[in-house]
Amino acid sequence: MDIVHYSVLKEEVCDYLKPDKPGQLFIDGTMGEGGHSEMFLSRFDDLKVIGLDADREIQQIAMKRLEPFGDRVGFRHTWFNEYFREYPEEEKPDRILLDLGISVFHYEKSGAGFSFSRDEKLDMRLNREAGLSAEDVVNDFDEKELADLIYELGEERLSRRIAAAICRERKQNRITSSLQLAELIKGAVPSSYRHGRIHPATRTFQAIRIAVNSELDRLADVMMEALDVLKVGGRLGIITFHSLEDRAVKLFFREMGKKCVCPPELPRCECGGKPVVDVLTRKPVVPTEEEIRMNAPSRSAKLRVVEKLREVGERRGVQ
């Protein structure tokens, strides 16, 4: 079996999310190739795991990898926000992990145009059965919409310049491959920018990928949904890889950790003045220097964890 992705912050995730009682349920909300799940199943022999993924191809790899654990592990082909919104299981989870990173598998093996270093069809959908592709975004969005997307989701300061170059090119030739787009971006930016610390297409590719998979919208949805489903006393851990994600997680956890979480328009507190969560990581947990040496993509990972202290309220849409 060809495993190409190394799960980040394994020991740190285990320290925070290891079970504290026998027979607990762990939900791996972004299972990928199954690295985190394999660690938990190997170390805790009565733990049950449910793994979610929107990508059928990578889920098949996880299924093969975790086959030795038999019925202790189950698989659901779905987006994590949709799963938690209509939580289908009889038992509430004790631990939930959301690793928001894109697997190395997608860059090296998917053939879906995530990487700007090879010539692949410009797709970038994790679930290639639905939704707009990267090709659709690049060729069909108007120039302002494209520039705003690249600036807001990629934090790319040359977004207008890049969007203008894309629009000029697509008038002549439809942009259909990842290498075609990468070379176009490279030619659109100043020489000094081409030879900077990162490839000049990095932020634009990030922005398009985030847009295609609705990553920030799904994150905003899933945080409350997962917290609703989690058992009181359970823990939710989220690993982020860029500032937009980390900022959203930090602010959500901070809000849920306040003594009162009532809407500001209410004249008086109705929640009892008790925080919904205890924020266990006042600062994000980051990889050690040794992990970064062994696995360079881990360098931008940040782990934040909360423990649920009380119910948020009735779960929406579930009796």
Mean predicted confidence (pLDDT) in 145-151: 97
Query: Phi, psi at residue 121, to the nearest 5°?
Result: -60, 135
Length of the chain: 319
Residues in the annotated binding site for S-adenosyl-L-methionine: 34-36, 53, 80, 99, 106
Which pLDDT does position 317 carry in this prediction?
37
Which pLDDT does position 271 carry in this prediction?
67
The one-character DSSP state at 213 is T
Q: Which tens digit of pLDDT belongs to each residue from 109-118?
A: 778 888 888 8
The one-character DSSP state at 306 is E
Average pLDDT of the chain to the nearest whole number: 90
**Residue ranges, CATH 1.10.150.170, the chain:** 128-212
Q: Which tens digit of pLDDT belongs to each residue from 132-145?
A: 999 999 999 999 99
Q: Which fold has domain 10-106+215-308?
A: Rossmann fold (3.40.50)
In sequence order, which residues have a C-beta less than 8 Å from that of residue 13 and are 6 or more positions away? Answer: 36, 39, 97, 237, 239, 303
Q: Which tens digit of pLDDT belongs to each residue from 155-193?
A: 999 999 999 999 999 999 999 999 999 999 999 999 888
Domain 128-212 has CATH 1.10.150.170: yes
pTM, entire model: 0.89
The one-character DSSP state at 121 is B
Residues in the annotated binding site: 34-36, 53, 80, 99, 106
Distance CA 289, CA 155 (A): 26
Q: In what order do the strands lie in the sheet with 235-240?
A: 73-77, 48-53, 25-28, 95-99, 235-240, 302-308, 277-279
**Residue ranges, CATH 3.40.50.150, the chain:** 10-106+215-308
Q: Which tens digit of pLDDT belongs to each residue from 24-78?
A: 999 999 998 999 999 999 999 999 999 999 989 899 999 999 999 999 999 999 9
